[in-house]
Structure 1
Amino acid sequence: MSFRLKDVPLLSRSTIDRAEHVRLDPEALRTGWAKAKVLRVDPRGRVRVEETAVVLEPALSVAEAPGPGAVFLGVVEDAHVWAVRAPELDGVLKDLRTLGAVDDFTADLLATAYALLNWHDRAGFHGGDGTATTVSRGGWSRLTAAGDEEFPRIDPAIICLVHDGADRVLLARQHAWPATMFSLLAGFVEVGESLEHCVEREIREEVGVDVSDIHYLGSQPWPFPRSLMVGFAAVGDPAQELVFSDGEIAEAHWFTRDEVRAALHAGDWSARESGARLLVPGSISIARTIIESWAQ
C-alpha cells in the first residue's frame, strides 16, 4: 500500500519572497531599511508574541542601519523583513515549537530566521584556514579577507514511516522522551550514501528491521539547528525481531491504524497528561504530516 502526503508540510510552505536580487544589492538593502520590519530572536530561539502574533518591529527602532548580525529574510508587501539575534527580550516569549498553531507566514519566517542565525552563530571563522569571516549578501553568505565565500550549511536527514503494507505502522521512542511519546525513525545521511541507502541503514541500525519498497514523500526544513528532513515510506515485516543496536531507541512497537487515528484525535505530544498509550508529534513536524497521511 502506497500513499502520498495529504498536505505540504508546514515548514515547507514558503510565503516570503526571498528576493535574491536584493541580497546582491547593498544599496537596496540600506535604503530598504527605512521601512523594513525586524524579527528579534533570543539565543533560545524565542520571539516576542502579542496575543497569537509574532512581533515584527520597525527596523529604525532597532538600529539606524542593518548591522553585521542582521539577516535579510525577504520582501513582504513591498517592505524588507530582517532578523537579528537579541541577547535579551521582554514580554511574552515563545519559540516555533511552543507557539501552537501557526500560519504559513509565521512558519516560513521563523524557520528561515532560525536557520540563518544559527549558522552565523557558528560560522565566524573560515573552516579551511581559520581566518575571520564577514557577512555578505544580506546574511546569506560570509566572506574571508581573501574573498573566499561560504554559504549556510544544511545537514540532510531522512525520516521514514515503516508500515507492513496493510494496517500497522512502526513507531519508536528515544530514551529522552516520556513513555507515551512516539514518532518516526530518522537519521542523518552519511557521506558517500544515497538517501535510499540511508533509509535502509538507519532503520536496520535503530530497530533491526529490513525494509523494501522505499518511496519518497516530501521534505521540510528543520532549523534545529540546520537540518533538511527528507520524508520516505517503506515496508517492513512485523514478524522480524526488533533489535535496538545503536542505543538511540528505547522502545518501538507496531501500532494499528485505529490506534494511530485515536492518537491523532487526542492531539500531540503536548497532551502528555491525557493518559493515552500513544502520543504523536505536533503540527510543525513533517513526521505529523506523514503519520496523518498514512492514517487517512
Structure 2
Amino acid sequence: MEAPVSTHTEHPITLAEPGGIDRAAHHRLDEAWLAAAWSHPTTRVFVVSGGQVLIDDTPDGGTGIVMTPAFEAPLTETHRYFLGTDEDGVRYFALQKDSLPGRMDQSARPAGLREAGMLLSPRDAGLMVHAVALENWQRMHRFCSRCGERTVVAAAGHIRRCPGCGAEHYPRTDPAVIMLVTDGQDRALLGRQVHWPEGRFSTLAGFVEPGESIEQSVVREVWEEAGVRVGEVEYVASQPWPFPYSLMLGFTARAVSSEIAVDGEEIEEARWFSREDLRQAIESGEVLPPSGISIAARLVERWYGKPLPRPLARTA
C-alpha cells in the first residue's frame, strides 16, 4: 500500500547535536597525518569495550567520558579508531579492547549508551555513539563476505579490506522506521513487545525491507504488528541506534482504521491512549514509558505536548 507522504514538520525535535565534532573523513587514509595526530599532546583517547566506556564526574557537575592523552593510552589495542576533531583542533581516538582499563578514581564507572547517553554532553555522546557503532561492526564482520578470508582494518577503523580478493567492506547501517500513530480522536497507538519488562509500552517500529521505501515500511509495519491501517505519513527526525547498527527513522502516521489485532509474535499488546489515559497509566505505574534517550520518547513527548510524567511516589 502506498502512503501519502508529507515532509512538513510543524514541531521539529532534536535528538542528537553535532557537539562540535568534525569527523574529518578525508584524513582516514592519510597514515602520516594520523600518526602525527596520535602523537600530538592535545589528542584525547578513550577505550570502548563491549559497548561500554568509562565515565566520570566532571568539575562542572556533569558527566564525561574518561579520556587520556595518547601517550597515556594503553600500548596494546585491538583496533584504533579516529573519530574526528573539535573546534579547538583536538583530535579524538577510540581504542577497542577486550576490557575497560582499571581506574583509581572511585567515581569512574563503566556505562553503556542507554545509561551514559542521558548524562553526557553532546560532544561526548556523539563520540561514544560513533565508537560503539564501529566496535559493533568490527566485532561482527571480521571475515570477507565474498571469499571468507579474514579482513584487516583500514581507514582508521572505517573500512575492512580483504587481502584475499581485494574487496572493501564498510560499516553496516540498518534503516529502521519508528512511528507514533494517531487516530481521528488524536489518541496515540502504543504497543509492548513480548520480551519487554511488564508494563513497558512504546511506539511501533521495524526494519525497512529490500526494495521498500521508508514510507511503505511505516504502513506495512503498523499493519503487520497492530492490524491498523495508516494513511498520511510524515517524517520527523532520525537517531543512530547502534544496537547493534540501526538508524532509526522517526515518523508520525495517521490511522484510517482503529481496530487493533496484534501479531502475537513481536507485539503482544497494543492500546490507544489519550493524553489523560497515558498520564494516569504512567503515574499509577501501570505503564512504563520508553527510555528518555530514545527517539521513541521524543515522538511520544511531541504528541503529548510536554515531558512525560513520572510515576507518583507511593505512600505506605
Residue of structure 2 aligned with 1:281, choices 277, 290, 310:
290
3-state DSSP of counterpart to 1:98: helix
Is contact 2:291-2:297 (8 Å) kept? Answer: yes
Residue of structure 2 aligned with 1:32, choices 19, 34, 37:
37
Q: What pairs up with 1:154-169 in 2 under 5 angstroms? A: 154-169=173-188
TM-score, structure 1 as length reference: 0.88
**2:300 aligned with 1:291:** yes
> CA 1:196 to 1:162, structure 2 compared with 1: closer, same or farther past 3 Å?
same
What is the alpha-carbon root mean square deviation over aligned residues? 2.3
3-state DSSP of counterpart to 2:240: strand
Residue identity in the other structure for 1:110? M
3-state DSSP of counterpart to 1:94: strand
**2:70 aligned with 1:59:** yes
TM-score, structure 2 as length reference: 0.83
Residue identity in the other structure for 2:114? R
Is contact 1:118-1:225 (8 Å) kept? Answer: yes
Give the whole-Å Cα distance in 1 for the aligned partners of 2:181 and 2:30.
47
Is contact 1:3-1:293 (8 Å) kept? Answer: no
Give the whole-Å Cα distance in 2 for the aligned partners of 1:85 and 1:60.
16
Partner of 2:141: 123
**2:263 aligned with 1:229:** no
User: How many pairs align?
Assistant: 283
Q: State the identity as a percent.
A: 39
Residue identity in the other structure for 1:290? L
Residue of structure 1 aligned with 2:49, choices 19, 34, 42:
42
Is contact 2:143-2:149 (8 Å) kept? Answer: yes
Q: What pairs up with 1:185-204 in 2 under 5 angstroms? A: 185-204=204-223
Residue of structure 2 aligned with 1:93, choices 110, 120, 141:
110
Is contact 1:68-1:134 (8 Å) kept? Answer: no
Give the whole-Å Cα distance in 2 for the aligned partners of 1:64 and 1:102.
27
Name stretches of at least 5 consecutive residues in structure 2 with no aligned partner. Answer: 1-7, 58-62, 103-107, 306-316
Give the whole-Å Cα distance in 2 for the aligned partners of 1:108 and 1:151.
20
Partner of 2:84: 74
Deviations 1:264-294 (A, max 9, x none): xx6xxxxxxx642222122321111111111
3-state DSSP of counterpart to 2:139: helix
Name stretches of at least 5 consecutive residues in structure 1 with no aligned partner. Answer: 267-273
Residue identity in the other structure for 1:223? P
3-state DSSP of counterpart to 2:36: helix
Is contact 1:153-1:226 (8 Å) kept? Answer: yes
Deviations 1:198-221 (A, max 9, x none): 111111111111111111111111
Q: Which moved more, 1:22-31 or 1:45-54?
A: 45-54
Q: What pairs up with 1:232-243 in 2 under 5 angstroms? A: 232-237=251-256, 239-240=258-259, 242-243=260-261
Give the whole-Å Cα distance in 1 for the aligned partners of 2:242 and 2:46.
16
